[in-house]
């Protein structure tokens, strides 16, 4: 992720600071004239997503099921007694 943030630093934007968290990123930057915020964010997200999916094996989970980072269901199985 850090490589991706630095890729266009000084060309499309000026990168001031960032913190990479396990499931998100905080970034302080200034866009250069003529650059688009949505395009910049989509560039970071698109490449990062492809790299993550390439490096992580994903198990089959039903669509719409919340999951934890281990791929197991985040919703406990609770039945009435």
The pLDDT tens digits of the residues spanning 8-61 come to 999 999 999 999 888 888 999 999 999 999 999 998 888 777 777 777 755 555
Answer yes or no: is 80 within a domain. Answer: no
Give the pLDDT score at 30.
Answer: 98
The pTM of this model reads 0.60
77 vs 65: CA distance, rounded Å: 13
Give the pLDDT score at 40.
Answer: 94
39 vs 20: CA distance, rounded Å: 20
Answer yes or no: is 39 within a domain. Answer: yes
Q: How many domains does the chain have?
A: 1
Residue 27 sits in which domain range? 2-55
32 vs 22: CA distance, rounded Å: 28
Where is pLDDT greater, at 13 or 63? 13
Answer yes or no: is 32 within a domain. Answer: yes
Given the structure tokens 């009435």, which residue do they identify?
Answer: 80
Give the pLDDT score at 81.
Answer: 43
Answer yes or no: is 66 within a domain. Answer: no
Answer yes or no: is 61 within a domain. Answer: no
Answer yes or no: is 51 within a domain. Answer: yes
Answer yes or no: is 29 within a domain. Answer: yes
């Amino acid at each position: 992720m850090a490589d991706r943030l630095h890729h266009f630093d000084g060309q499309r934007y000026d990168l001031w600071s960032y913190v990479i968290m396990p499931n998100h990123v905080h970034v302080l930057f200034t866009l250069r004239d003529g650059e688009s915020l949505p395009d910049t964010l989509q560039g970071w997200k698109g490449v990062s997503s492809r790299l993550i999916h390439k490096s992580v094996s994903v198990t089959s989970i039903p669509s719409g099921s919340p999951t934890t980072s281990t791929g197991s269901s985040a919703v406990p199985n609770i039945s009435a007694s």
